[in-house]
Structure 1
């Protein structure tokens, strides 16, 4: 009887250890390491519309522990608008889960600075591309696949990536320390670069970001700090488990 009790007790411990972490929560270990949730799964606290003081009144919503935007007309930041964090970040480790609908386009931007005048499209910043590579035409634009999911949008293509099928969750990560930046997709590093390096500036010079508007307030992508942004590109996309750690 004692042996049965012990084996049952051990099984309970093992099952508890294997239990998936509840979305939009932090473990005790993560808290001790300095991680902070950017989305609590229930409210839009900590977010506001880009170039606005409040959160958008329509379009973006919290649904079953997910932060999602309604589908509109596929345009960039015209229907409901992008949303940004209240805080700004420089050295950080950012993680987020995203789920695409068929043909969807979005993006997670960082080092976003709200300079005026406000641009017609999305606020300026470096972008971790969130895209259905098979069904959205943007995947075939740009150069060498640098507009596909996980890429540094229009600058550096993601390499060796493995994206999960449409309708399943993917985990993105952006790691920024000093000038060094990495993109990770589903646990694998897919992009690595140095902000402000000669190679980075050469990529900018071959991209849409060479336009004067992107460089009026300093070289594109080289701001010392900035907001995190979730992009409205007119398609239904879901986000959850958005968390950050200052480095």
Structure 2
């Protein structure tokens, strides 16, 4: 079954270029294009795609507001497009419900990989830049002081078991399920269960929101994403 995608960008050449790259894949189908946020919402509602590739800054309605509406509407996952000079918008986009973001100069193979990963229900957290940016934006939002992983839970995290709390901390460091399994000396299946429990108990959509929650609750602090 093909991954159905809507591509939304106000620059026609960018939109067409991404569309051609994705449409050339045997498992991806671009079902519509949009030139602004309002058109993106209309296209998603009309075509019910699996994923929306969405530029952050667009006319009429920007990508952040469009992402907020689309993520509240239903199951379509959102992958944001940004440029280095728009980094200030990335945190807001993730808070709006986006499952990750790509820089507009992304390589062809990385674009295709990102679409497949996000459409499969994961979030785009593998690149180190993602974790660093989330840490930076959360720092600007003035999170509470850090809480050691072995210390008492904040009110929000008190619903988690010790293992689930540890799993959340590792997610916030940018570790994959396989890496978490190695760190915790458990199977990947067990890690998947812990991740699922974390998302369910905290009412989170995906791993991106889990990272944000870890920073906002002070479980991990900016600059600590690559180590304890």
Structure 1 length-normalised TM: 0.30
Structure 2 length-normalised TM: 0.32
Give 1 or 2 for the bigger CA radius of gyration.
1
Would you tell me which structure has more strand in proportion to its own residues? 1
